A and B are shown apart, each in its own frame.
Chain A
Amino acid sequence: MERKPILSVKGLKTYFYTEDGIVKAVDGVDFDVYQGETLGIVGESGCGKSVTALSILRILDEKGKIVDGQVLLDGVDLTKIDEQEMRRIRGKDIAIIFQEPMVALNPVFTIGEQIMEAIMLHQRLDEKNARAMAIDLLRKVGIPEPEKRVDQYPHELSGGMRQRAMIAMALSCKPKVLIADEPTTALDVTIQAQIMELMKQLQKEYGMAIMLITHDLGLIAENADRVVVMYAGKVVEYADVRTLFNDPKHPYTWGLLHAIPRLDIEQTRLYNIPGVVPDPLHFPPGCKFHPRCEFREERCTREEPELVEVGENHTVRCFFWQKVVEAKMKKVGEFV
């Protein structure tokens, strides 16, 4: 059965016009997010994953512009509608939670006020009902004594609770898509697990799609259904999670997985991908990953590969993905 994605990004290009030159933060990105599913977007800092999220919501810096592409939410192209319509969608149909809840919440308003603001904006509720709903939401996200907490300020809550409050605020209008940009990076490991657990539970209850943006492969492995791997503003691999971990076909993915320290086999040296993420103002010619690639050949320094289909719902941006498969065959054990 052909499912239709609830959110579909096609050929998205977002450029930043800075005083030092044009930064092509997102340079042709495609992916689909299905209802009730979690799409993971993984990559190192600076690969463009956050910018993608901000582009979808159109809350970019003033120097950033979406120069091409479409963002289809239930068939409506978000890049083409006017600002007023976009505002109705923001916070209501698509919600986002950010990395650091301390700075993402306004310190001079209580969390109750901030949640109620979203509620009263998108749903025609009066203050009393909005407040009741806010308390309910706080309870739902697992904050104890919500009646007390609702009148507290962000700095009075712990990191984990703040993130829960942010989730409550994001979910207040039952969005179709929740974008989570590094939701647990700033939290302790134990809290991380709780937050992800909470998100999964709410996802099931609300039937919403989640876009999980992170650099943490472990998080992806446990929570994502499908994964997009990004590098230098482009998608380099796109597959479902099992395939990605068991059968990666892009050298970058291979490198990322390889770099995870193993407890079950003996390692004399920890692997890491050589080199650093390229400066967006000075991309290398040809394939953007080639300077760091273990499998590169002469062709990679000249031409940039397109995405090719290498399996069922599995695409890769590489000329020599075969070499990755061969390399994997030679290794002992599986990754997942």
Chain B
Amino acid sequence: MLTYIIRRLLLLPLILFGLSLIIFGMIQSLGPDRLLAAYVNPGVLDKLTPVQLEKIKQKYGLNDPMMIRYIKWLKNTLQGDLGWSLVGKQPVKDAILSRLPWTVELALYSIVPVVFVGVWLGVIAAVNRDKFLDHFVRIFAVVGWSFPDFVFGLIVLMIFYSVLGWFPPGNLSFWADQVVKSPEFRRFTSLVTIDALLNGRFDVFVDALRHLVAPILTLSWLWWAYLLRITRSSMLEVLTKEYIRTARAKGLAERVVINKHARRNAMIPVITVGGGMVIQLFAGTVIVEMVFNRTGMGSFTATAATQLDYASIMASALFYSLILVIGNLVIDILYATVDPRVRLG
């Protein structure tokens, strides 16, 4: 088991390396002129003479051969110099660090409804195959899967905010934001909800939650439907297996057969998919944060893309790659935990 984990850990830098090459390759598809915007504030850029521009190009090695540029870029990145963000009007690193916790919070909390609702409903649908409950759940799931998240989000916004006023867009109400920014508010985890509790500010906690409900609902909407499908088909397949027959032949109650014998096996593919889905959740924050006007990595990335803020885009791409790689590693480890056949491989 340990060797398995170590092996996967060793692969990590390799994969990151590969991804960094891809990202770097994309960056280089732009000419050196467009690249300049990543290093110099465009407001200043216009006022520079061609000679000064050349000097800057030299400084950042934009005229150097590909290999050297890659190494330089890698060096800078590893040292934390990610360039200047147009969108954030601050160094990219700071822009990301300040926005990251919001996204993490959103994604993390969304996992809960997705997993529990999706898996629970999926098992129900499988066990009640072809009966009314199954059809109902499946239709629910198909519609869920067909609903674009931004459409759903807009409708949620319309109903719950515009009409009912329960769940406003944004991260926090103005007053709560002031509290969080004040020096008395101590940051432990940088996740606002937890920090609010730790600071004893229950009112801030509630406010943050109010702002989270609609985004979580929207973000998880798509994915619980997906997880449901996967769970259902996995469960159905497991139920046809011989060892289920053996379990029944031993005299076990049906409930035990389903919950103990069937479910454990059915979860194996679900975990793989579910893990990939968590990564998708992070991707989904892009849309959701935009719809609900929240600050976070998602809206940062989207805005950077529309404003052609290349430094920010690159950094975001790197960030998501990291999530991806770590996410996959976690999936593999979980997979090995659940399926003993994998461990010795």
Q: What residues make up the interface of A, taking CB atoms closer than 8 Å to B? A: 57, 59, 87-92, 95-96, 98, 100, 103-109, 117-118, 121-122, 153, 155-156, 166, 169
Q: Give the residue name and chain of the A residue nearest to B250 (CB).
A: A91
Q: Which 5 A-B residue pairs are closest in the complex by CB-CB distance?
A: A90-B251, A91-B251, A91-B250, A103-B242, A106-B243
Looking at the complex, which one of A109, A117, A153, A156 makes contact with B250 (CB distance below 8 Å)?
A: A117
> Apart from A87-B253, A106-B264, A155-B341, what 4 extra A-B contacts exist at CB < 8 Å?
A89-B251, A117-B250, A121-B250, A153-B341
A108 to B246, CA, bound (A): 14
Within the complex, what minimum Cβ distance (angstroms) separates B47 from chain A? 68
* Residues from chain B with Cβ under 8 Å of A100 in the complex: 242
Q: Is B81 an interface residue (CB 8 A)?
A: no
Interface string of B208-242 (1 = CB under 8 A from A): 00000000000000000000000000000000011
User: Are A104 and B243 in contact (CB-based, < 8 A)?
Assistant: yes
A121 to B341, CA, bound (A): 27
* Residues from chain A with Cβ under 8 Å of B243 in the complex: 103-107
Looking at the complex, which one of B241, B251, B344 makes contact with A122 (CB distance below 8 Å)?
A: B251
* Residues from chain B with Cβ under 8 Å of A59 in the complex: 245, 248-249
A90 to B268, CA, bound (A): 29
A166 to B246, CA, bound (A): 10
Looking at the complex, which one of A88, A98, A153, A155 makes contact with B246 (CB distance below 8 Å)?
A: A98
Q: Is B261 an interface residue (CB 8 A)?
A: yes
User: Are A105 and B246 in contact (CB-based, < 8 A)?
Assistant: yes
User: Are A121 and B339 in contact (CB-based, < 8 A)?
Assistant: no
User: Are B340 and A96 in contact (CB-based, < 8 A)?
Assistant: no
- Supposing A98-B246, A153-B341 touch, asked if A108 and B251 sit within 8 A by C-beta, the answer is no
Within the complex, what minimum Cβ distance (angstroms) separates B211 from chain A? 41
A238 to B236, CA, bound (A): 40
Give the interface size bracket for B toward A. Answer: 20 to 34
Within the complex, what minimum Cβ distance (angstroms) separates A121 from chain B? 6
Q: Is B21 an interface residue (CB 8 A)?
A: no
User: Are A104 and B245 in contact (CB-based, < 8 A)?
Assistant: yes
* Residues from chain B with Cβ under 8 Å of A153 in the complex: 340-341
Q: Is B139 an interface residue (CB 8 A)?
A: no
User: Are A98 and B242 in contact (CB-based, < 8 A)?
Assistant: yes
- Supposing A87-B251, A88-B251 touch, asked if A104 and B242 sit within 8 A by C-beta, the answer is yes
A87 to B246, CA, bound (A): 13
* Residues from chain B with Cβ under 8 Å of A106 in the complex: 243, 246-247, 261, 264-265
User: Are A108 and B338 in contact (CB-based, < 8 A)?
Assistant: yes
Q: Give the residue name and chain of the A residue nearest to B253 (CB).
A: A87
User: Are B265 and A108 in contact (CB-based, < 8 A)?
Assistant: yes
- Supposing A100-B242, A103-B241 touch, asked if A90 and B249 sit within 8 A by C-beta, the answer is yes
What are 28 A-to-B residue pairs whose CB atoms are below 8 Å? A57-B249, A59-B245, A59-B248, A87-B252, A88-B251, A91-B252, A98-B245, A98-B246, A100-B242, A105-B246, A106-B246, A106-B261, A107-B340, A107-B341, A108-B264, A108-B265, A108-B338, A109-B261, A109-B264, A117-B250, A118-B250, A121-B251, A121-B252, A122-B251, A153-B340, A153-B341, A155-B340, A156-B344
* Residues from chain B with Cβ under 8 Å of A122 in the complex: 251
A89 to B249, CA, bound (A): 9
* Residues from chain A with Cβ under 8 Å of B268 in the complex: 108
* Residues from chain B with Cβ under 8 Å of A105 in the complex: 243, 246
Within the complex, what minimum Cβ distance (angstroms) separates B310 from chain A? 48
Within the complex, what minimum Cβ distance (angstroms) separates A269 from chain B? 39
A98 to B243, CA, bound (A): 10
A-contacting residues, B309-345, CB 8 Å: 338-341, 344
* Residues from chain B with Cβ under 8 Å of A57 in the complex: 249
Within the complex, what minimum Cβ distance (angstroms) separates A226 from chain B? 24
Looking at the complex, which one of A98, A104, A117, A156 makes contact with B252 (CB distance below 8 Å)?
A: A117
Interface string of B98-120 (1 = CB under 8 A from A): 00000000000000000000000
Within the complex, what minimum Cβ distance (angstroms) separates A165 from chain B? 11
User: Are B340 and A90 in contact (CB-based, < 8 A)?
Assistant: no
A290 to B253, CA, bound (A): 44
* Residues from chain A with Cβ under 8 Å of B344 in the complex: 156
A107 to B339, CA, bound (A): 8
Within the complex, what minimum Cβ distance (angstroms) separates A132 from chain B? 19
* Residues from chain A with Cβ under 8 Å of B265 in the complex: 106-108
Within the complex, what minimum Cβ distance (angstroms) separates B246 from chain A? 5
* Residues from chain B with Cβ under 8 Å of A156 in the complex: 344
A166 to B249, CA, bound (A): 12
Within the complex, what minimum Cβ distance (angstroms) separates A71 from chain B? 15
A95 to B250, CA, bound (A): 7
Q: Give the residue name and chain of the B residue nearest to A110 (CB).
A: B340
A169 to B249, CA, bound (A): 11
* Residues from chain A with Cβ under 8 Å of B247 in the complex: 106
* Residues from chain B with Cβ under 8 Å of A166 in the complex: 246
Within the complex, what minimum Cβ distance (angstroms) separates A215 from chain B? 18
Within the complex, what minimum Cβ distance (angstroms) separates A177 from chain B? 12
A91 to B253, CA, bound (A): 12
Within the complex, what minimum Cβ distance (angstroms) separates A312 from chain B? 35
Interface string of B15-52 (1 = CB under 8 A from A): 00000000000000000000000000000000000000
Q: Give the residue name and chain of the B residue nearest to A83 (CB).
A: B254
A166 to B339, CA, bound (A): 21
Within the complex, what minimum Cβ distance (angstroms) separates B295 from chain A? 44
A-contacting residues, B183-211, CB 8 Å: none
Q: Give the residue name and chain of the B residue nearest to A118 (CB).
A: B250
A89 to B252, CA, bound (A): 10
Within the complex, what minimum Cβ distance (angstroms) separates A103 from chain B? 4
